[in-house]
Amino acid sequence: MKALCVVLTCCVSLAGAQAPDSLRVNGARISQHLQALSEFGKNPQGGVSRLAYSDADHQGREYAMRLMREAGLDVSIDLAGNIVGSRAGSDAGLKPLLIGSHIDSVPEGGNYDGDVGSLSAIEVAQRLEEAHIKLRHALQVIIFQNEEGGTIGSKAITSGLDDKLLNLKANSGKTIREGTALCGGDPNRLAEARRAPGSIAGYFELHIEQGGTLEQHKINIGVVEGIVGILHSEVTIEGFSNHAGTTPMDQRRDTLLSAARFIEKVNQVVTSIPGRQVGTVGWIRVQPGAYNVVPGKTVLGLELRDLDASKVETMFNRIRDKAKKIGAMNNTSFNFSEPIVTHPALTDASFQKLIDTTAKGLGLTTKLMPSGAGHDAQEIAVIGPVGMIFVPSIGGISHSPKEFSTPSDIENGAKVLLQTVVSFDRLK
Q: Compare residues 33 and 375 and give the one whose CB is closer to ligand GLV.
A: 375
> Pattern 320-359, binding to ligand GLV, x per CB under 6 A?
----------------------------------------
CB 312, CB 278: distance < 8 Å: no
Judged by beta carbon distances under 5 to 8 A according to partner kind, the member of ligand GLV, Mn ion, none in contact with residue 100 is none
In sequence order, what DSSP letters do the residues of 267-313 get, joined into one string? HHHHHTSSSS-EEEEEEEEEES--TTEE--EEEEEEEEEES-HHHHH
- State yes or no: residue 377 binds ligand GLV (CB under 6 A): no
Q: Compare residues 123 and 147 and give the one whose CB is closer to Mn ion.
A: 147
The SS3 assignment for 16 reads coil
Q: If we measure between CA atoms, which residue out of 300, 291, 288 comes closest to residue 241?
A: 288
To the nearest whole angstrom, how small is the minimum distance from the Cβ of residue 122 to Mn ion? 16
CB 347, CB 387: distance < 8 Å: yes
Measure the CA–CA gap between 117 and 391, rounded to whole angstroms: 10
Judged by beta carbon distances under 5 to 8 A according to partner kind, the member of ligand GLV, Mn ion, none in contact with residue 41 is none
To the nearest whole angstrom, how small is the minimum distance from the Cβ of residue 48 to ligand GLV? 14
To the nearest whole angstrom, how small is the minimum distance from the Cβ of residue 327 to ligand GLV? 28
Total H helices, total E strands in the chain: 14, 16
Q: If we measure between CA atoms, which residue out of 228, 241, 382, 422 comes closest to residue 311?
A: 228
- State yes or no: residue 373 binds ligand GLV (CB under 6 A): yes
Judged by beta carbon distances under 5 to 8 A according to partner kind, the member of Mn ion, ligand GLV, none in contact with residue 374 is ligand GLV
Q: Compare residues 9 and 342 and give the one whose CB is closer to ligand GLV.
A: 342
Residues that bind Mn ion (CB under 5 A): 113-114
Measure the CA–CA gap between 243 and 49, rounded to whole angstroms: 38
To the nearest whole angstrom, how small is the minimum distance from the Cβ of residue 210 to Mn ion? 7
Indicate if the alpha-carbon torsion angle 337, 338, 342, 344 is positive or negative. Answer: positive
CB 42, CB 49: distance < 8 Å: no
Q: Compare residues 155 and 297 and give the one whose CB is closer to ligand GLV.
A: 155
> Pattern 146-185, binding to ligand GLV, x per CB under 6 A?
--x-------------------------------------
Q: Compare residues 9 and 398 and give the one whose CB is closer to ligand GLV.
A: 398
Measure the CA–CA gap between 263 and 311, rounded to whole angstroms: 19
- State yes or no: residue 374 binds ligand GLV (CB under 6 A): yes
**CB neighbour burial string for 251-284, b if at least 16 within 10 angstroms, e if fewer:** ebbbbbbbbebbbebbeebbeeeeeebebebeee
To the nearest whole angstrom, how small is the minimum distance from the Cβ of residue 258 to ligand GLV? 26
To the nearest whole angstrom, how small is the minimum distance from the Cβ of residue 263 to ligand GLV? 19
To the nearest whole angstrom, how small is the minimum distance from the Cβ of residue 148 to ligand GLV? 6
Q: If we measure between CA atoms, which residue out of 202, 328, 218 comes closest to residue 262?
A: 328
> Pattern 130-149, binding to ligand GLV, x per CB under 6 A?
------------------x-
The SS3 assignment for 97 reads strand
The footprint of ligand GLV on this chain (CB under 6 A) covers a number of residues equal to 3
To the nearest whole angstrom, how small is the minimum distance from the Cβ of residue 150 to ligand GLV? 8
Q: Which residues bind ligand GLV (CB under 6 A)?
A: 148, 373-374
